[in-house]
């Protein structure tokens, strides 16, 4: 087999970027007396508008129509606020009914292209009233939850006229990359260090100037005549040593691995809040938001009470309001009832208050 020897040139190389964007939407429909009638009972009704993440040109609406024996759900693309007409992009649409155990029932999948408008017949979710009545798909309050997932492939554009090496996905210029490499080497070697941080009995060597340049807390500590400045020693008792090591790595290099973030995000957020490391705190919030679940929801709410993170707290509260049964069925809930009942009562008051 001969080696592939093609080398891209400016006139014969290009790159097309695509992004798959997923939008999830739930429509809770109450007062379903019409399900018990085989005759057409209600006029068409519609959901609120919802949009595709980070793309306001794609705005959607669900419509329900009572046809006697059946009900039908239609998906419409509505006119966006920008007034732009999206290009033809392939879309997968998944419909299902969510039962009270959060299982998907009666799933149906459609594939379509999005022109300037969608005809009603393009996406029809058909449900038989008898099947609904005989199944266990209704919620505890006898309401019906229609779930719609839209997977939209968006073309981000094509680059050409440059060599492949010039469009590599590197976040740094050559100068920045060299500086980052040097900072990583300094972090590992601790050459010419001038301060020792004792973190729960584990010593870390560092440089006052670097710590002070990234953290206002360290800056105040080393600028004034504090005992830390005079002794070149800092005592840290409220952070785990492994977490503190990654905090130092971030201070020196501005980067952490995804594996580290997934493993230590809660501890890193607490440390970032203590030392006013805003960038690290934001990245921890984003990581925790991406992985929020019934098992982590309570822990995140407790964490954000101790270390303010308003966006994370709001999303955790919203998650609790949407999935109270799942959150209250976790071991964290049982433990909180035993160990932190007062906090739990305050939390329930916030959850039951109208979302702001």
Report the distance separating Cα 111 and Cα 151, nearest Å.
Answer: 10
pLDDT in tens, the chain (356 residues): 455 555 444 345 666 777 788 889 999 988 777 787 777 777 888 899 888 766 666 788 899 888 888 888 888 887 666 655 555 667 888 999 999 888 999 988 887 755 444 443 455 788 888 888 888 888 888 889 999 998 887 777 766 544 433 333 444 445 566 677 778 888 887 788 899 999 999 999 999 999 999 999 999 999 888 999 999 999 999 999 999 999 999 998 888 888 888 899 999 999 999 999 999 998 898 888 888 888 888 888 888 888 888 888 888 888 888 888 888 888 888 888 888 888 888 888 887 776 55
CATH of domain 174-352: 3.30.710.10
Task: Determine the number of helices (DSSP H) and then strands (DSSP E) in the chain.
Answer: 13, 12
Reported for 133-138, long-range contacts at CB under 8 A and 24+ positions apart, including other chains, are 133/35, 133/36, 135/99, 135/105, 135/106, 136/99, 136/100, 137/97, 137/98, 137/99, 137/105, 137/106, 138/32, 138/99, 138/100
Which segments of the chain does DSSP mark as H helices, in order? 129-134, 174-189, 208-214, 216-223, 227-231, 241-253, 258-274, 278-290, 294-306, 310-322, 324-327, 331-339, 341-352
Q: Which residue in 198, 205, 209, 194 sits closest to 241, CA to CA?
A: 198
Half-sphere exposure of 134 (CA within 13 A, CB side): 6
**CATH for 17-157 (3.20.20.80, 2.60.210.10, 3.30.1330.30, 3.90.550.10):** 2.60.210.10
User: Can you give the pLDDT at residue 174?
Assistant: 52
User: Can you give the pLDDT at residue 8?
Assistant: 47
Distance of CA 226 to the CA centre of its chain: 41
So where are the chain's domains?
17-157, 174-352
């Amino acid at each position: 087999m001969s080696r592939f020897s093609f080398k891209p040139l400016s006139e014969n190389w290009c790159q097309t970027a695509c992004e798959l964007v997923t939008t999830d939407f739930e429509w809770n429909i109450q007062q379903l007396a019409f399900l018990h009638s085989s005759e057409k009972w209600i006029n068409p009704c519609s959901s609120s508008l919802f949009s595709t993440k980070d793309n306001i040109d794609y705005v959607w609406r669900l419509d329900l129509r009572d046809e006697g024996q059946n009900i039908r759900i239609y998906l419409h693309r509505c006119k966006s606020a920008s007034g732009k007409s999206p290009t033809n992009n392939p879309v997968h649409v998944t419909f299902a009914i969510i039962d009270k155990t959060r299982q998907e029932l009666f799933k149906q999948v459609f594939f379509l292209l999005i022109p300037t408008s969608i005809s009603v017949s393009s996406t029809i979710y058909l449900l038989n009233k008898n099947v609904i009545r005989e199944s266990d798909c209704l919620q505890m309050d006898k309401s019906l939850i229609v779930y719609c997932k839209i997977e939209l492939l968006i073309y981000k554009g094509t680059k050409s006229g440059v060599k492949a090496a010039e469009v590599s996905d590197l976040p740094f210029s050559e100068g920045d990359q060299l500086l980052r490499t040097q900072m990583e080497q300094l972090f590992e070697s601790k050459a010419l260090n001038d301060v020792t941080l004792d973190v729960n009995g584990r010593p870390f060597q560092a440089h006052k100037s670097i710590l002070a340049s990234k953290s206002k807390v360290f800056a105040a500590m080393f600028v004034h005549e504090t005992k830390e400045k005079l002794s070149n020693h800092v005592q840290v008792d409220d952070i785990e040593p492994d977490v503190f090591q990654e905090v130092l790595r971030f201070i020196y290099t501005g980067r952490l691995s995804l594996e580290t973030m997934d493993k230590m995000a809660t501890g890193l957020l607490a440390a970032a809040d203590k030392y006013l490391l805003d960038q690290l705190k934001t990245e921890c919030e984003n990581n925790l938001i991406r992985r929020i679940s019934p098992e982590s929801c309570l822990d995140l709410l407790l964490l954000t009470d101790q270390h303010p993170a308003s966006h994370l707290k709001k999303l955790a509260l919203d998650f609790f309001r949407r999935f109270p049964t799942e959150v209250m069925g976790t071991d964290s809930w049982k433990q909180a009832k035993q160990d932190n009942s007062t906090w739990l009562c305050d939390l329930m008051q916030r959850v039951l208050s109208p979302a702001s």
